[in-house]
Chains A and B, each alone.
Chain A
C-alpha cells in the first residue's frame, strides 16, 4: 500500500490527530524548561512528531508567526514582556504557561518581598537606570488556557499533555498531593529524616521527584486541591522545624501565594 501523503491528517485508533503549529517563548526565566523540552532523547523524535515547531529561539533560527499553540516559559517582569505576551495571546489558540515561573512567578517572585522594585534595582545595579517591575505570573496579564507545573517541568508530563492536546482529550492534573506519590514509592518520610517537606500540600504529578532523592519538597507545583496548610504547619512544628523554614518553602516558587490565608502565627 502506498504511504499516505504527508498533508493528510494522521490518525490514532481512528481518531484524527491534530498536529498543532507550536511556538516556544521565554520571558523572565532560566530557560531550563525549554531545555527540558530538548531532553529525553529517546522519545524526542516521537514527541516532535506531535508538534510542528515553527518557533523556538533557543534551538532554531527559522521562525513563523502563524502558530496555534504557544508555550510560554518565564514570568512577566518588564513592560516589553507584557506587550510581547499580549501579542502571543492574540495569535495563539492555546496559551500554555510552561513551568513555575509562568504559572506562579517562580523563584523570580521572591524579589517581590521587596515591595518597591526601585530598592531591588539599587541593591543589584546601584544608581544605574535599569527597568523592571513587580514579578507576575502570565495569568495576571492574559488568560492562560493550560498550566504545566514544575521547576523544572517534567518532560514525561509534557509528553502526556501534548499527546492529550493532539488527541483532543481534556488535559487534567492530579488533585492529590506529592505525599501520596512519595508513599506509593515507599520512600522514608522526609520528616523522620530531619528534613522539612511540603509534599503533603503540593500538587502531585511529578512522582515525588525531589523526595525520591531524599530532598524535601519545596512546593514548585503549587498547592494540591484542598491543601491543609495550617495542619502541615502543626506537623512541621511537632517535628521541630522552624516556622521560617516552612515559610521559606511556601514562598520559594510562588504557588502558595494564591492561598486565601496564611496560617496563624507564621512570620510574614
Chain B
C-alpha cells in the first residue's frame, strides 16, 4: 500500500479563476491539505464608492463573465429595494426567465465542458469531439439555446444591456417568445439524453455532513429574493444576510471566507435542492429520483447531479413563464426611478449559490457604501473542509498520487467555483 502522497496543482484547470490545491501525506498520515485562492483582488466595493446608483448594475455585472446576469439582477434588486420600487408583473417574469437561461447556460457549460472530461478520462472537451461527438453537439445545442435566450431577453448573453432599474429598456415580441418556447420544448429530449449519460457515469462516493444554505421557497423553487434557510434550521431575512455570511479573512486566500452554524457551509445547486426539492417541476423531481438524488444529500460530488436536475427544472419553468407572458402579461412596465436614502439588500440564487448585493444610498442616489458577498466566497471554507476529509480518507486507504490528484481536482470542480468572482 502506498503510504506517501504529494499533490500540487497550481493552478487548477477547468474552473473559473485561479486556485491551487496542495496535499501532503507521509507514512499514511495527512500532513497538509490546502485549498488556496490566489486570484488577484479587484476591489469592486471601492470602485463603486462615490458613484451614483446608475453605475451599480453596469459595473458590478463585470464582477463575473459567467454569472454577469445574476450580478446585474442582484444589483438592480438592491437599488430597487432601497428606492422602494416594486417591479411589474412582466418585468418580474422576464427577469426570472433571463435568470433561468443563465442557469441553463452556466450549468451546461460546467457539466459538459468542465466536468464530463474527468468522468470520461480526458483533459478537455476537445478529444471528446472524436470519441463522443454526438454528446458535444448535444451540449452545444443546449448551451446555444440558453445563450440565444439571454440575448433575446437581456439584450446580450453576458454583461446584459436591456436590464435596468425599474424594468427593461426593450421587451421581447410575442413571436420571439413563442419561437423560444418551441426551442425549449425541443431541448427537453436532449436533457433526457444528457441525464442518461451522467446517470451511467458513477460519481465518487464521498460524504461529509454539511450545512446547506439557500433561499427558502414558499410556493416555487426559489431564485430571486425572499427568506434564506439552512439545513441546520437557521432562518433569516434577505436583509439580515450578514448574520448568515459572517465573512472573515484567511491568509491563504484573497477571497473572504464564511461560516454559519458550523465552521463552514455550502451554497449552490445541491443546497437549493436539499432545501427545496419538493418545489421542483415534476419532471425535474422524477429525474432526481431516477438519479438516486434525495434530500438531504451530503455528497459534494452530487452537486453535478443537482445541476442537471435544475437544468430540467428551469426549462420547464421557462415554458410556464412564457405561457403566462403570452397569455397577457407581456406589457412593457418599466417604472420611473426616484432616488431616496436607504439601504438596499438583494439575495439572488445564481448558478453557484446565493449572491448578496447591498448598497447604502444617499438621498440623491449616491453609493455611500457597498457590499457584495459572492457564492464561491461562501463555499471556500466548505471546499477546504471537504478537501481535508477527502485527503484524510485517502491517506487511510492509500492510493496513488494521480488518483488523489484527480479526485481532489474533481471535488473542487464539483463546486463549479467562480474564483475571480469570489475575489471581487
**A contact set with B: CB distance below 8 Å:** 26-36, 38-39, 41-42, 44-45, 53, 56-63, 77-78, 81, 106-108, 110-111, 113-114, 119-121, 123-126, 128, 130, 132, 151-152, 209-210, 212-215, 218, 244-245, 248, 252
Contacts and interface: CB of A to CB of B under 8 A. Distances in A.
Interface stretch (B23-31, B58-66, B76-84, B197-205): B58-66
Contacts of B156: 209, 213
A107 B162 contact: no
Contacts of B254: 130
A218 B58 contact: yes
A260 B353 CA distance: 45
Nearest to B16: A31
Interface stretch (B42-50, B236-244, B282-290, B343-351): B42-50
A110 B46 CA distance: 9
Given A62-B123, A214-B169, 5 more contacts: A28-B42, A34-B65, A59-B14, A61-B13, A132-B43
A213 B169 contact: yes
B54 A125 contact: no
B390 interface: no
Majority SS at the chain B contact face: loop
Contacts of A56: 124
Contacts of B109: 35, 38
Contacts of B41: 77, 124-125, 130, 132
B43 to A, nearest CB: 5
Interface in B170-216: 170
Interface of B: 11, 13-17, 40-43, 45-47, 49-52, 54-55, 58-59, 62-66, 68, 109, 113-114, 117, 123-126, 129, 140-141, 143-144, 147, 155-159, 161-162, 164, 169-170, 249, 254, 420-421
A198 to B, nearest CB: 13
A59 to B, nearest CB: 6
B169 A128 contact: no
Given A32-B66, A151-B159, A58 B46 contact: no
A187 B219 CA distance: 42
Nearest to A123: B46
B223 to A, nearest CB: 21
B161 A209 contact: yes
Contacts of B46: 111, 114, 119-120, 123-124
Nearest to A61: B123
Nearest to B123: A61
Given A30-B62, A244-B52, A62 B162 contact: no
Contacts of B421: 30
A120 B45 CA distance: 9
Given A58-B16, A213-B156, A39 B66 contact: no
12 contacts: A28-B40, A29-B65, A35-B65, A36-B158, A41-B140, A61-B14, A111-B43, A123-B43, A132-B40, A152-B159, A214-B162, A245-B54
A152 B17 contact: no
B158 A35 contact: yes
A169 B40 CA distance: 36
B97 to A, nearest CB: 16
Contact of B68 (A32, A81, A212): A32
A152 B159 CA distance: 7
A30 B420 contact: yes
A72 to B, nearest CB: 14
A61 B55 contact: no
Contacts of B13: 57-58, 60-61, 63
Contacts of A128: 249
A248 B161 contact: no
